Amino acid sequence: MDSIRPQSPAPASTTGSAASAPQARTEAAERLAEGRPPQLAPPPAATPAPAPMRRTMRGFDSHLQGDVASAQQALDFLEEVAGQLQSLKSELSAKLSNLQADERQIEARLRELANTLERRRQSGGDKLDAQLNYNAASATQRFNVRGMTLSSLKSSAPQMLSFSSGAGGQALTVNIEPGMSDEEIVQRFDRALAPANVRVSSDANGKLIFTTPEAHWPALRDNLSILGRGRVATEEEPGAVAPQRWGTSDTEALRLSLQEVVRALAQVRSSQAAASRELSAAASRAAMAPVPSDDMTVLAKDFAATATDPNYESLLAITSAMVGISRERVLALLGLR
């Protein structure tokens, strides 16, 4: 049986006409005799890189997609919370009316609602705050620093507090001087911490209230410290809906829990209305700035051409362009028609 022999590679061509095999062998022998390196074949011509994929269109509202997705995400979460609150309302009402209602089922509903609210940041997006208020710009988290009140700051004046938010920037310094008023102290804190996206006010009890965007809160909570004292003890403002504090032990506890459920439902309905208004506003923006059909055609052809070119650059362009695209976002955008 004959064995399969590998074919010899074709001789490299020279500039102008191709060199014959005897000539190539002669030249190679002369180079070897003279101690010169063998003639290398010219490197292949570089393959031109594909044109970068077009990522946007003229006149396209770059914030529209994010606004729609955020509003839809909040609406989905609020709908889930509203359904659980409605079930609780029915079962609590039945229990108070001496109708058949399983107390263990009510407690299970309370735990389910508490678990849902625990994942508010992940499931509800960054436009729902701890009070379940919907903010079209961005939700905020209010917190306080344990022991930091206007009276304690005044009694320890003069003093200098240097805050670090853990972002690697310079320390944020607040100088407290004797004789300062409450308003002056609050203004000093507010100006000093503004670069860290923290605003400062005070409540009726003289406690300093700090506010930061919801998206920044987890990192700030874990890293806020005072130089020379270490990390500060932050306390989040309690949420508007706190099922872990609702009781079922007696008639009075059931009545109070029902009142809390009704109040929470009203808050959820208000936030649903606010998120729905933003979706309607987004629909109006989309209608006022329609995308030219020519641009859509060019973009579609560009994407198809890039997707059929199997190389690293094409894969990188496609995956980068599709980051953050989910089924919910696509459905929300299609719903604007």
pLDDT band at 11 (very low <50, low <70, confident <90, very high): very low
Instruction: Quick: pLDDT tens for 242-261.
Output: 999 998 888 899 999 999 99
Tokens of 197: 């996206």
Instruction: Quick: pLDDT tens for 72-125.
Output: 899 999 999 999 999 999 999 998 888 766 788 899 999 999 999 999 988 888
* Structure-token match 């649903």, residue found: 272
pLDDT band at 25 (very low <50, low <70, confident <90, very high): low
The predicted model gives 33-46 an average pLDDT of: 57
Instruction: Quick: pLDDT tens for 118-141.
Output: 999 888 888 899 899 998 888 899
Q: Does the pLDDT at position 330 exceed 80?
A: no
Q: Does the pLDDT at position 183 exceed 50?
A: yes
To the nearest whole percent, how much of the chain has pLDDT over 70? 71
Instruction: Quick: pLDDT tens for 293-317.
Output: 666 677 777 777 777 777 777 777 6
Q: Decide if 74 contacts 271 (C-beta within 8 A).
A: yes
Q: Decide if 108 contacts 280 (C-beta within 8 A).
A: no
To the nearest whole percent, how much of the chain has pLDDT over 90? 38
Average per-residue pLDDT for the chain: 80
The predicted model gives 32-40 an average pLDDT of: 59
Most confident of 18-27, 47-56, 79-88, 214-223: 79-88
The predicted model gives 22-36 an average pLDDT of: 64
195 vs 54: which has the higher pLDDT? 195
Closest CA to 71 of 142, 138, 141: 138
Q: How far apart are the C-alpha atoms of 187 and 161, rounded to whole Å?
A: 14
Q: What is the pLDDT of residue 299?
A: 72
pLDDT band at 289 (very low <50, low <70, confident <90, very high): low
231 vs 297: which has the higher pLDDT? 231
